[in-house]
Amino acid sequence: MASPTAKKPAAKKAAAKKQTAAAAAPAAAKKAVPVKKAAAKPAKEPAVVAKKAPAKKGSAVLDKFLEGQRKSLLEERARLTRHSEVLKAEADSLALDREAGDTQFDEESGEGDTLAVERERDLVLSARALETVAEIDHALEKLTDGTYGTCEISGQPIPKERLRAIPWARERVEFKATGFIR
């Protein structure tokens, strides 16, 4: 009797193994479905990219500020270049208007010296305008290479208020005010 009973449990084990295998087959089929769902997850990745869009709004604001600064720098550069050319032409005109005997070297200098002083003033103002144009060109280069708005002395950001007032500023006001220069 012991042997038929022993065979029956063995048969049950075999049947259980078959049922497990049969149950495993649908489970494998069910597992294939989640794999397909996993494949659908990459479609959710663009949603993550969409979440990055608000960060671009901040950079869009920054880009808008930088584009406004570029426009301001280019307008100021054009204005100063024209101003420098006018002053240089005026200085040259004063030199042409002056005659050889106009210069006096006594205490009561006449109009000859006034013309020389005006010419010198025009040349100095023209040179200052050209120096500012060079500063503007430097600021435009910094805009291009991505370092615009960074203090050249400390490496800290220059406040936007200062950049709006002087778009070609190279340093923070505390360094400019204390006399630290390039």
Note the pLDDT tens digit of each residue in 27-72: 444 444 444 444 444 444 444 443 333 444 455 666 899 999 999 9
Q: Tell me what pLDDT residue 177 has.
A: 75
Cα dihedral across residues 174, 68, 134, 154: positive or negative: positive
175: tokens are 């360094």
pTM value? 0.57
Find tokens 């808008």 and name the residue: 64
Residue 90, in any domain of the structure: yes
Residue 46, in any domain of the structure: no
Pair 105, 53: CB distance under 8 Å: no
Amino acid, res. 151: C
Higher pLDDT, 75 or 177: 75
Q: What values do phi and psi take at 168, rounded to 5? A: -95, 15
What residues make up the domain containing 119?
59-100+113-148
State the total domains in the chain.
1
Residue 106, in any domain of the structure: no
Instruction: Give yes or no for residue 106 having a pLDDT over 90.
Output: no
**Averaged pLDDT for residues 149-175:** 93
Q: Tell me what pLDDT residue 119 has.
A: 87
Residue 72, in any domain of the structure: yes
Pairwise CA distance, residues 158 & 170, whole Å: 8
Q: Tell me what pLDDT residue 102 has.
A: 52
Residue 21, in any domain of the structure: no
Residue 177, in any domain of the structure: no
Question: Predicted confidence band at 91 (pLDDT cuts at 50, 70, 90)?
Answer: confident
Instruction: Give yes or no for residue 168 having a pLDDT over 60.
Output: yes
DSSP label at residue 103: -
**Averaged pLDDT for residues 61-86:** 92
Pairwise CA distance, residues 79 & 89, whole Å: 15
Higher pLDDT, 108 or 32: 108
Return the bridge partners of 150, or none: 157
Extract long-range pairs of 160-167: CB within 8 Å, 24+ residues apart. 160/65, 163/69, 164/69, 167/69, 167/72, 167/73, 167/76, 167/136, 167/139
Residue 42, in any domain of the structure: no
